[in-house]
Chains A and B, each alone.
Chain A
């Protein structure tokens, strides 16, 4: 290995991708030479002894619906009950540090359920559209599935994602799953709302819709009509199959780029009105406390944000040397324009590669090669979206909000690398 051939783009060991690939190629060539030895064969020898068991027996039959292999069984959502006495209100975090690419497997998609997952019979489920419309209409699931559909790859993020870093006065030694596990990316397929609203005949005075789910708590949010008409959809499919129960089967509202709580699961009713209803979540939990003591409501858009998933909190780098720093970035305002990475605590930055296609309101994977020299340092990522807006520092974010406000936290994330290879959440 000739380290001198590497081009460093920034401090702390950030490497130019092209020189990294060049150095890697010479390494591969060297190692293939070492494996070129062959034993002379005897007439009574069997090749079987040289192969593992799974190469000396037929495999198992396939199954009707595939599951992850047992060796990956540690990759699980993890729940944090909000109210210890009930199972209904739980936060299920996706293991974001196990994900590569930009699509979250449907079974690992995060979920924040306020009253559990209802077991809905699709034959008895209906969508009612009423209020300020010319014709109040009821749609069966069967009929809705006949409307023309659109497909979009989108992120959904809970308003409270990474709230621990907003609230805690010290940086908790938590994993990426614990801190960032309330964001996921999927392909969603469904019927654009404007089709259904044209059929119902929206009245000019209709400015808001109260979207309600068919769960035990009848979760409800007030959403502006303009968003429904712009890019709102009734989603039926996620990643190629009908929605999972935890994601709203048989159908959910999907509002691209907006806080996940507004994409009402198990959607069954939309009431069009002139004003919002001020439901429970827009009265309390899904509001923000500003530094002057006022309460911000209807802050729907999830702002530009990024996190390095590889490496990330509670992991350990086994040794010094090469690693690919990789992570995810997203913005509810549109596409990402760039993600910068620092490996020296923010003194210098280099532009990471964005793995396309870079889509509107979707997770975007970024990466950059890094050579860790074994010394303590801090890794950071900062994303800029197509508006030119860059993530704030934690200090900048905290200055806007009261100390106990935790929703819509999108500050630059830091991971501290210890000399022992430990990776730890940090405020730096």
Chain B
């Protein structure tokens, strides 16, 4: 194992600190939950729009609204972005600028991010409680609400990365440009 070395003022010798322990494959496998745009990290399993709709009604509707656009939590689809429903000028703003028509469907660049976030963080009161099949189903339903997949779509690790998201073409990578 390589050690790292640093010099302290007044000390001619190098000190070595090497306190990390080698992580096992099993440890890494259970903790690596990130899903990447190309599909890396996606688990086996599948889920369709129909099952997703049922799950949505039971687990998501209270916060995200009937069709994913009513809130009060972040918009998944439809007419709004992140504006609060309690904002008295919400309607005026939406009318004034159609860009307020923002949602997961309109803004997120990759469909894999929906799977990643739902699986790690949703439902808000019981994160990490959904099965992989349930996460595929909910991802399918959210994409269906945005008219990005058809009503009979069934998602797997093979076809999810291929779903084209409108947010991708609108992306400007500020960091790369600096």
Q: Which residues of A contact B4 (CB under 8 A)?
A: 195, 198-199
The minimal Cβ–Cβ distance linking B96 to chain A, given in whole angstroms, is: 7
**1/0 contact string of A116-155 vs chain B (CB within 8 Å):** 0000000000001110001111110001101110000000
**1/0 contact string of B28-44 vs chain A (CB within 8 Å):** 10011111110000000
Q: Which residues of A contact B17 (CB under 8 A)?
A: 146-148, 195, 199
Partner of B20, one of A115, A143, A285: A143
**1/0 contact string of B3-41 vs chain A (CB within 8 Å):** 110100000000001111111000110011111110000
Instruction: Give the nearest-CB partner of A280 in chain B.
Output: B117
Q: Are A295 and B170 in contact (CB under 8 A)?
A: yes
Q: Are B116 and A216 in contact (CB under 8 A)?
A: no
Main secondary structure of the interface of A (DSSP, over half): loop
Q: Are A137 and B171 in contact (CB under 8 A)?
A: no
Q: In B22-68, which residues have CB < 8 Å from any A CB?
A: 22-23, 27-28, 31-37, 62-63
Q: Which residues of A contact B27 (CB under 8 A)?
A: 128, 138
Q: Are B83 and A404 in contact (CB under 8 A)?
A: yes
The minimal Cβ–Cβ distance linking A201 to chain B, given in whole angstroms, is: 6
Known contacts A86-B63, A143-B19, A199-B3; decide if A278 and B109 are in contact (CB<8 Å). Answer: yes
Q: Which residues of A contact B2 (CB under 8 A)?
A: 134-135, 198-199, 201
Asked if B125 lies at the interface with its beta carbon under 8 angstroms from chain A, I say: yes
Q: Which residues of B contact A277 (CB under 8 A)?
A: 34-37, 113, 116
Stretch with Cβ within 8 A of A (4 or more), from B100-108, B134-142, B143-151, B152-160: B100-108
Stretch with Cβ within 8 A of B (4 or more), from A28-36, A38-46, A296-304, A372-380: A296-304
Asked if B89 lies at the interface with its beta carbon under 8 angstroms from chain A, I say: yes
The minimal Cβ–Cβ distance linking B139 to chain A, given in whole angstroms, is: 13
Asked if A200 lies at the interface with its beta carbon under 8 angstroms from chain B, I say: yes
Instruction: Give the nearest-CB partner of B92 in chain A.
Output: A169
Instruction: Give the nearest-CB partner of A405 in chain B.
Output: B99
**How many B residues have CB within 8 A of the partner chain?**
62
The minimal Cβ–Cβ distance linking B29 to chain A, given in whole angstroms, is: 10
Q: Which residues of A contact B74 (CB under 8 A)?
A: 284-285
Known contacts A83-B63, A84-B72; decide if A138 and B93 are in contact (CB<8 Å). Answer: no
Q: Are B172 and A296 in contact (CB under 8 A)?
A: yes
Q: Which residues of B contact A285 (CB under 8 A)?
A: 74, 82
Partner of B167, one of A83, A139, A283, A404: A283
Q: Are B170 and A294 in contact (CB under 8 A)?
A: yes
Q: Which residues of B contact A168 (CB under 8 A)?
A: 89
Asked if B97 lies at the interface with its beta carbon under 8 angstroms from chain A, I say: yes
Asked if B163 lies at the interface with its beta carbon under 8 angstroms from chain A, I say: no
Q: Which residues of B contact A289 (CB under 8 A)?
A: 99, 102
Once the chains are docked, how many angstroms separate the CA of A294 from the CA of B73?
24
Asked if A273 lies at the interface with its beta carbon under 8 angstroms from chain B, I say: yes
Q: Are B120 and A218 in contact (CB under 8 A)?
A: yes
Q: Are A279 and B116 in contact (CB under 8 A)?
A: yes
Q: Which residues of B contact A293 (CB under 8 A)?
A: 99, 170
Q: Which residues of A contact B104 (CB under 8 A)?
A: 283-284
Q: Are A147 and B120 in contact (CB under 8 A)?
A: no
Q: Which residues of A contact B107 (CB under 8 A)?
A: 283-284, 287, 295
Q: Which residues of A contact B125 (CB under 8 A)?
A: 86
Once the chains are docked, how many angstroms separate the CA of A138 from the CA of B20?
5
Asked if A269 lies at the interface with its beta carbon under 8 angstroms from chain B, I say: yes
Q: Are A403 and B93 in contact (CB under 8 A)?
A: yes
Q: Sorted from nearest, which 3 A-B pairs have the closest CB atoms? A: A137-B20, A298-B175, A217-B121
Given A198-B2, A297-B173: 12 more A-B contacts, CB < 8 Å: A86-B125, A128-B27, A137-B22, A138-B20, A201-B2, A216-B121, A217-B127, A278-B113, A279-B34, A283-B107, A285-B82, A294-B170
Q: Could you list 8 A-B pairs, sorted by A, with CB under 8 Å? A: A85-B72, A86-B125, A89-B73, A130-B32, A136-B22, A280-B116, A284-B104, A296-B174
